[in-house]
Structure 1
């Protein structure tokens, strides 16, 4: 909870500064926004490690192979990074780039999930033969 309060407080300060600066220098406001977003990501990056460790322990307890967990984690990471980048592009009024990032994220997410799809296909082939 206290970490969220710190993140929220820092973001609110950055928003107020960005609004004030945007009138005179929009490019500086954009850099300020990017710096604040990176600071938030750095602040919560340690918690991400805890989540990954927890998911791995759950997979081991449930007897789920690491080969099945890795593609899910990769796809989730791609989706999160894609959303962050596309939102930043939209803030910079670059809607075309935002759409390109979303398309790339979709393609790369599907590529990351291919091992799961191959596993399902193998299972179906075994059941049919």
Structure 2
């Protein structure tokens, strides 16, 4: 039998892996084939092609949706309270089950989610500016 937190981590990881694979695939498809051919024509090996030519072009394309997925995953962690894993919403639910103050505790939980989302959004802006330079 699998423990709830392990099930939550596996479920979120598989979901996120599918989205990330699609983001990277889309980013690689957006790079013109001529760029890869030019790197090969220069005689660069595969790793050097990736490091010097492909990845610098890939990062500005892939970073914004990657951070959006990170923020979405943060918000999706509230879904794991359904399986009984301890996280922010589940903790708020267990506290208001004891003291019957549902609305104040849900407001506190939503403020925590909002604060974490804003912090990640600020970090995303900084990283996007650094990559676009």
Query: Which TM class, normalised by the smaller chain length?
Result: 0.3 to 0.5
Higher relative contact order (CA 8 A, sep 6+): 2
